[in-house]
Structure 1
Amino acid sequence: MNTMRRTKEEATATRELLLDCAELAFVRHGVARTTLQDIANAAGLTRGAIYHHFTDKPALIEAMLARIDLPLEHALTAMEAQGDTDPVAQLRQFALEPLALLQRDEHARRVFTILLHRMEFAGDTAQLLARQQATLADCRGRCERLFMAAQRAGQLPDGRPPRQAALALIAIISGLLSLATLDDDPGPACLAAPAAVDALLAGLRTGTPRTPATPV
């Protein structure tokens, strides 16, 4: 039994090592330019060892994604668990949580960097783009409902369309996530996040919607 347990632990450790090496290789060289042999070499293992755990590169990428929380999915799950007791506070937390995740979880930061900047979504990886698009749609819908709840609660004035407010918040989050993953240090983007989100929410509280300009 001890031998079986040790063998299983060794297999798990090998799998984790391969995933760690894959993250680093994809960040440095991109997904398209990295082969499974490159990852095996980085781990000090044979090509057969990596194929024992992953049938191909898409399977490895799926395993890489499975062991982390993606920022927006993580924030969405946390927000859904809270209810609508304080809509504006929930919107603020939703906007800041993805950046906090990237700052505290190195694996999540590397994997999200890969998704944003190191791979193209075609063929076997096209479903990853569909997954991100679905998450964005869920986030926009949830934020829109919270903005509506904030208006009903008197936290925000009625003049601003909730859909516009939700799109503006998602745009700020997406931009900050992109900045945080373009640099090895996500700190500056994370530090800027509270002020950026608070500025948007303050503008929604006090600003008057502009009348669209008449086309010339």
Structure 2
Amino acid sequence: MRRTREEAEQTKESIFQAGIELLATKGIHETSMSDIARAAGVSRGAIYWHFENKEALLREIRGRLQSFYKSLVDAAHIDSAPLAESISRAVRKLFKKYRNDAAFRRLQDLNIKISVLYAGKDSFADDIIKTEEADIQLFCEAVEGSPATNSCSPLQMFMIMESLVGGLLIRQYIRQELLSDEDIDAAVAFMVKGFSGIEEKTKTIHQEQ
């Protein structure tokens, strides 16, 4: 009997979740595709039908985390609020999701491990960059024309935010200490102050001219 698309998706999700569990607890290098197949209760043929190798599974993990980039793009399109405030809401939401959603946190922690382990592998690095480029481009287009972009480019704005957010995620992973509401508020306030300062400085320069 042929499986329905829904059954196939359920099988893929079972493999994915089993993979996350093993990769997180046993380790990336120490986990084989056979281990994941056994944990998911599927045959080797089934696992390779959905993921041709472990690297494909790791790419799937990274792909599911692209929601952060999309949230920044969505935030940048909110015209009713200043750019800094719109983006800060997206960043605040990410940090709270990391703290309160154990499954999401495990996915993010695995992403950090993947980034470290495969940093020197050109094919994997290229794939990572390609999956991010489209959303980064959309973000840059969305913030183009904001007063802040007169002092730094949209791409520079993105890099600053990405560095702040990524650094705090890595810090939580290494220390195994989750940010409190006060910590999150402080991080967001710091970012808002920075972007607001850029915008105010730009307005002042324009007024003087």
Q: Same fold (TM over 0.5)?
A: yes
Matches of residues 111-130 of structure 1 in structure 2 within 5 Å? 111-118=107-114, 119-121=117-119, 122=121, 124-130=123-129
Gaps of 5+ in 2: 202-209
Which has the larger Rg? 1
The equivalent of 1:31 in structure 2 is 28
Specify the code of the residue in structure 1 equivalent to 2:109. T
Is the CA contact 2:61–2:111 (under 8 Å) kept in the aligned structure 1? Answer: no
The Cα offsets for residues 165-202 of structure 1, whole Å up to 9 and x where unpaired, read as: 835444322212223444666x4266512212213434
* Cα distance in structure 2, aligned partners of 1:71 and 1:190: 22
**Aligned counterpart for 2:75 among listed residues 52, 73, 79:** 79
Is the CA contact 1:75–1:97 (under 8 Å) kept in the aligned structure 2? Answer: no
Q: How much does 1:104 deviate?
A: 5.1
Specify the code of the residue in structure 1 equivalent to 2:82. D
The equivalent of 2:86 in structure 1 is 90
The equivalent of 1:17 in structure 2 is 14
Specify the code of the residue in structure 1 equivalent to 2:86. Q
Whether 2:187 is the aligned partner of 1:172: answer: no
The verdict on how the C-alpha distance between 1:88 and 1:174 changes in structure 2, with shifts beyond 3 A counting, is same
Root-mean-square deviation (CA, aligned residues, Å) is 4.0
Q: TM-score, normalised by structure 2?
A: 0.67
Q: How much does 1:18 deviate?
A: 0.7
* Cα distance in structure 1, aligned partners of 2:77 and 2:56: 31
Q: TM-score, normalised by structure 1?
A: 0.65
Q: How much does 1:149 deviate?
A: 2.7
* Cα distance in structure 2, aligned partners of 1:109 and 1:96: 15
The equivalent of 1:109 in structure 2 is 105
Is the CA contact 2:91–2:188 (under 8 Å) kept in the aligned structure 1? Answer: yes
* Cα distance in structure 2, aligned partners of 1:52 and 1:132: 22
